[in-house]
Amino acid sequence: MFHGVKLEDKQTNSQIKDIEVAWEAAHLTKEELDRKLAKRKGRPFKRIDREAEKLGATHEAAARRIVEAKLNANIDLLTGLFNRRFLETVLPKEVERARRQSLPLALVMLDVDNFKRINDSQGHPAGDNKLREIARILQNMVRRSDIVCRWGGEEFVLLLPEVFLETDEDGQGLNQHLEKIRQAVAKVAVDQENRVGTVSMGVAMLNPDMIGEDLLKAADEALYQAKNNGRDQIKWARVKAE
């Protein structure tokens, strides 16, 4: 579900692992969960055991109680992606790591243009289904080290550590890959009249003098330019002169 996200920060990794295990446990049948518990007695499952004993409840009920607290704090419940709060926690750490190790870091803000048209013509449940499908596409089209978040509404953020502009492992530049993502998401955003939607993106690369808030602001300004220039395009933030 969380696409194997692995960050340098041990506390954040532990937090992600707890969420993954609790989410899994909350969706297992009693028999499946018992088999898991018999094979693995890691910290998250031990916590479920303690919670179950304290509540006098089943493992499933305890797991659901734990996962509810963790998901409410870090996960967007509609799409299953990380939420804005989680990104705001992780971003400063990734910025510091990129600066310390002289590694590139990109942040992409993606917005589905005229998404209100889908909600108005097909209803909010249909719009919610579109958002879930978009989330699935984004997760499937990024690397295991990348972080995908729902920023709010129909806006998403991709945090891309150690990303190189010219070529990636597939021999494609970042802009080429983002264009493929943009087109894939646009195909999902089809309204009731079968009109293919459009998607705008703003991209910013970390500069040495930036902090996390600066990176977000730069990507947001680039996204604004993309939408102000007619939507359906990718705009890159201007690099400030040294």
pLDDT at position 10, please? 47
CB 99 within 8 A of CB 191: no
Element holding 151 (H helix, E strand): strand 147-152
pLDDT at position 20, please? 52
Given the residues 24, 154, 162, 193, the one annotated as active site: 154
Calculate the average pLDDT of the chain.
78
How would residue 116 be classed by pLDDT, with cut points 50, 70 and 90? confident
Do 226 and 157 lie in a common domain? Answer: yes
Do 232 and 151 lie in a common domain? Answer: yes
Do 184 and 94 lie in a common domain? Answer: yes
pLDDT in tens, 218-241: 999 999 999 999 999 999 998 654
pLDDT at position 39, please? 59
Do 25 and 102 lie in a common domain? Answer: no
Q: Give mean pLDDT, residues 158-164.
A: 89
Alpha helices in the chain (DSSP H): 10-26, 30-39, 43-55, 59-74, 84-100, 115-122, 124-140, 174-188, 212-228
Spatial distance between the Cα atoms of 212 and 107, rounded to a whole number of angstroms? 10
Do 97 and 69 lie in a common domain? Answer: no
Spatial distance between the Cα atoms of 36 and 27, rounded to a whole number of angstroms? 12
Domain CATH number, residue 135: 3.30.70.270
As for how many domains the chain has, the answer is 2
Do 181 and 90 lie in a common domain? Answer: yes
Q: Is 154 a catalytic residue?
A: yes
Spatial distance between the Cα atoms of 141 and 160, rounded to a whole number of angstroms? 12
pLDDT in tens, 58-83: 555 655 565 566 656 788 888 888 99
| Domain coverage including residue 196 | 84-236
* Residues 6 or more apart whose Cβ sits within 8 Å of residue 210: 95, 218
Spatial distance between the Cα atoms of 6 and 15, rounded to a whole number of angstroms? 11
pLDDT at position 34, please? 59
CB 181 within 8 A of CB 137: yes
Do 226 and 116 lie in a common domain? Answer: yes
- Single-letter code of the amino acid located at 168: D
Residue 21 located in a structural domain: yes
pLDDT in tens, 82-106: 999 889 989 999 999 999 999 999 9
pLDDT at position 69, please? 62
Spatial distance between the Cα atoms of 17 and 13, rounded to a whole number of angstroms? 6
In this prediction, what percent of the chain has a pLDDT beyond 70? Answer: 63
Give the pTM: 0.72
Domain end point (choices 74, 93, 125) = 74
- Single-letter code of the amino acid located at 103: L
Q: In what order do the strands lie in the sheet with 155-161?
A: 147-152, 155-161, 105-112, 199-205, 234-236
Do 115 and 19 lie in a common domain? Answer: no
Domain end point (choices 18, 46, 74) = 74
Residue 4 located in a structural domain: no
Q: Which among 143-147, 161-165, 177-181 has the top mean pLDDT? A: 177-181
